[in-house]
Amino acid sequence: MGIFVQDTFTGGAGLLTSHVGEIGGWSDTSGSTWGFPQNSTSYAKLDGAGSVYATADDTRRAAIQSDVLSPQMDVYLEMQINVGASINALSLKNYLHNSSTLHGWSGDGGHIIFNDSSSTSLYAPYYATGTFETVLPGAAPNDVVTCRFEYDFTHGAIRAYWNGGLVATWGIYTGNQPIEAGVFAMDMDSFSATTGNGLKINYLEIGTIDPPTAFWTDLTGSLVETIGA
């Protein structure tokens, strides 16, 4: 399937749900049948400069939700995040296969908390095995970081990468593969980014983890004939 959600959040300022990304778009969570009613996409907005953020309100929370079904099995999520000028318990919580019937299952698909400038915490999905929390160095104000989560149900592993480096690998409880496709959803808990504070997401991509091509696929004769040895 390849990439099925991709967005650089370019375009004029306004509601995320009025915006279409390079691949896929965003759906309204009001009256959602996908089981993600906690927060509202009405608080998720584009800033007009290539980012999406959570607007200022009493809860400081916004939801983003794709309008494309995620495949049932192996997928990855990659994001580029600007942590903003004020860092204090800002967080992103991901749901990779979210649906109304899987709501109890889908749970936390990977939680990032920017505690302050001293540390960043990655929390494993609740269906994972292994060390629950991985503590990383803190982000400085306005740092831009890239994170990637790989949900490899075929091989029973979830991997987390931070700025290109592998920082955590978790197992998956037997039988905890998603039993149906769902949509991607995210909870953004952040201070307002309208004044430069709070998280902004500059880029988001979701795609399938494709198996490597078999080594012998194109070998039609002897090794000597093939490589000219």
Contact predicate 38/158, CB 8 Å: no
Domains of the chain in start order, with CATH, are 3-227 (2.60.120.200)
Predicted confidence at residue 163, as pLDDT, reads: 96
Give the H or E element holding residue 105: helix 103-106
The residues with which 94 forms a beta bridge, in sequence order, are 186
Predicted confidence at residue 95, as pLDDT, reads: 82
User: How far is it, in rounded angstroms, from Cα 38 to Cα 95?
Assistant: 13
Give the tens place of pLDDT for each residue, 75-88: 999 999 998 887 77
User: How far is it, in rounded angstroms, from Cα 110 to Cα 57?
Assistant: 24
Task: Using 50 as the pLDDT threshold, list the residues of the chain that sit under it.
Answer: 35, 37, 103-107
User: How far is it, in rounded angstroms, from Cα 113 to Cα 96?
Assistant: 18
Predicted confidence at residue 37, as pLDDT, reads: 45
Predicted confidence at residue 91, as pLDDT, reads: 85
- Prediction pTM value: 0.84
User: Would you state the structure tokens that stand for residue 125, as one six-digit string?
Assistant: 């999905």
Predicted confidence at residue 174, as pLDDT, reads: 67
User: How far is it, in rounded angstroms, from Cα 142 to Cα 120?
Assistant: 14
Predicted confidence at residue 168, as pLDDT, reads: 94
Phi and psi at residue 17, to the nearest 5°? -70, -15
175 phi-psi bin (left φ>0, alpha ψ -120 to 50, beta other): left
Predicted confidence at residue 81, as pLDDT, reads: 94
Give the tens place of pLDDT for each residue, 41-54: 888 889 999 999 88
Predicted confidence at residue 149, as pLDDT, reads: 92
Predicted confidence at residue 52, as pLDDT, reads: 92
Which letter does DSSP use for residue 116 in this model? E
